[in-house]
Structure 1
Amino acid sequence: MDDLWQWLGDHQWAGWLGAAIALGVVELVSLDLVFAMLAVGALVGMVSSALGAAFVVSFLLAVGASAATLLLLRPPLIKRLHGGPELTMSHAKLVGSQGVATMRISGLEVGQVRLAGELWSASPYDDTLSIEPGETVEVLEIRGATAYVHPIPRLDP
């Protein structure tokens, strides 16, 4: 056992490397980026130890690096991982787009419109309107598989 302590005293960097690897493995299980930040601190301790620093100096550098990464690096990483762009589903992307009525659409009869190359069942957003085939419409809402549309007025010369 004394030989182990003697070897670790002469090769402190190996102890720090072992700690960094162990902390990295624990991070793979926890996935909360705390142990990864501690592993970074252990790597800093390893580098300082390999450069000949005393154990106390390596320990203080490792604690400082761990604290710095936990306080400065982890919060923006967590925010970025849990955030992200607002995802709009395929049907929500159609709101605001224009299409062409392919069948008569009125408050009493569901018709069809061609939107982004696909046929959709459609109803007028305003139940009192009637939209004839060939008219250009704008999608104001999607409910289920039905697009609620409003005709776009034409400027005839």
Structure 2
Amino acid sequence: MDIDAWVWWLVGAAALGIGLVVTAMPELGMLAVGAVAAATVSGFFGGGAVVQVVAFVVVSTALIAVVRPIAYRHRSQRPRFTSGVDALKGRTAVVLERVDARGGRIKLAGEVWSARALDNGSAYEVGQEVDVVDIEGATAIVM
């Protein structure tokens, strides 16, 4: 029994796909797509072994050359979306109870928070707007 070349390319693509899942190396996925391209050349166009290998190399190299720099650029950028307490830093709050170095209360993002002043000598009166500098536990540090 003689198995066609395109079947071997698909077996190789499946093996590379399994390697991608196991190792999480995106390059293996790009090589798998190259193997599918070689299988297509073999199965639909009847290309010889040299044409199949050229298709594999060209498609795999092109994907790695184009996709990898884009993925690196996305990975190196800081996320633009912040959540949790990080999203509260830099927001403005309204003083509900006098805030000084010992404590107080503010309304921040629709919720009542305990707060204390960043500077020991500063105090903020009821109704005054303050900026949240940091969050320590359940206490907002304001100025």
User: Aligned residues, how many?
Assistant: 142
% identity of equivalent residues? 34
The gaps in structure 2 that reach 5 residues or longer are none
5 Å-filtered alignment, 1:26-105, equals 26-50=19-43, 51-80=45-74, 83=77, 85-86=79-80, 88-105=82-99
- Normalising by structure 1, report the TM-score: 0.75
- Normalising by structure 2, report the TM-score: 0.81
5 Å-filtered alignment, 1:134-153, equals 134-150=127-143
Could you say what secondary structure the match of 1:121 adopts?
strand
The CA RMSD over aligned residues, in Å, is: 2.3
Q: If you compute each CA radius of gyration, which structure gives the higher value, 1 or 2?
A: 1
Quickly say closer, same or farther: Cα 1:79–1:57, change in 2 above 3 A: same
Quickly say closer, same or farther: Cα 1:84–1:14, change in 2 above 3 A: farther
Mean alpha-carbon deviation: is it higher for 94-103 or for 23-32?
94-103
The gaps in structure 1 that reach 5 residues or longer are 151-157
Q: CA offset at residue 137 of structure 1?
A: 2.4
User: Over residues 34-77 of structure 1, what are the superposed CA-to-partner deviations in whole Å (9 max), with x where a residue is unaligned?
Assistant: 22121111111111112111112112221222222223323323
